Structure 1
């Protein structure tokens, strides 16, 4: 299996995914679909935390993804051992993705700060689709 699908945890198995238009309405659609498609797994981790992180990453993809031609945001979720990994792909540049430390009165810049606080790990790198993939991982996501 490709390194991108491994997530550093051994072999990863795809659980689901979605393709979204790069419009603000896609953020709420991603939240709804993720809840619906993960419900059958009876995850041990906080779905609310996962939905919040997914929402932040899709928002960033919609706001900051850029391409000369028509493009989409791709979201995938994987099982890697007992971990859940969620990937959000967009055509932006990996070097442009960074965690910020906003001032208390800043209106923006907290998305990756939240992902950093709520996930067990997160990463950014080149997407296999071209552009960027930002991922988060939740360990012990499945009930024993």
Structure 2
């Protein structure tokens, strides 16, 4: 596993941090712990617990749905954009395959994007600048 906290000394650079994770189930709890540790010094006004939950869901989705013939990683990045916090999760999967499901009550899976849609102020999916897919969400008013 490679974990990094990038703090750009340049104030106009909005990225607050990044994590690179192997696509294995044990990376999901690691992503939760490390994101919480890395974001805490920035003291966001939004719920860190909500952000941790959504990071966990998107990293889990990235691991389950990411596909590549080559070794690959899941990349998580977070940015301050004025007063908002934007979190991106990148994987090598196909962007067209990202869709919100409507699971039955007894389905064990399929609620990740529903959670993102209900908790985040907005979310987006599309092609990643690293190749593959990015799914991101925004927490508005994370800073005053």
TM-score, with structure 1 as normaliser: 0.90
Instruction: After TM superposition, list the pairs within 5 Å mapping 1:102-113 onto structure 2.
Output: 102-113=103-114
For 2:136, the equivalent position in structure 1 comes to: 135
Instruction: After TM superposition, list the pairs within 5 Å mapping 1:1-144 onto structure 2.
Output: 13-142=14-143, 144=144
CA offsets 1:50-99 (integer angstroms, 9 cap, x no match): 00000000000001100000000000000001000000000000110100
Whether the aligned pair in 2 keeps the contact of 1:12 and 1:81 (CA below 8 Å) is no
Counterparts of 1:102 and 1:81, CA distance in 2: 35
Counterparts of 2:79 and 2:114, CA distance in 1: 22
Is there any run of 5+ residues in structure 2 with no aligned partner, and where? 1-11
| Structure with greater contact order relative to length (CA < 8 Å, sep ≥ 6) | 1
Which portions of structure 1, spanning 4 or more consecutive aligned residues, are displaced by more than 6 angstroms?
Answer: none
Report the 3-state secondary structure (helix = DSSP H, G, I; strand = E; otherwise coil) of the residue aligned with 1:35: helix
CA offsets 1:85-132 (integer angstroms, 9 cap, x no match): 000000000110100111111111000000000000000000000000
Residue 12 of structure 1: CA displacement?
A: 6.6
Whether the aligned pair in 2 keeps the contact of 1:101 and 1:110 (CA below 8 Å) is yes
Counterparts of 2:42 and 2:16, CA distance in 1: 9
Residue 16 of structure 1: CA displacement?
A: 0.2
Number of matched pairs:
133
Counterparts of 1:53 and 1:125, CA distance in 2: 17
Counterparts of 2:71 and 2:83, CA distance in 1: 36
Counterparts of 1:31 and 1:126, CA distance in 2: 24
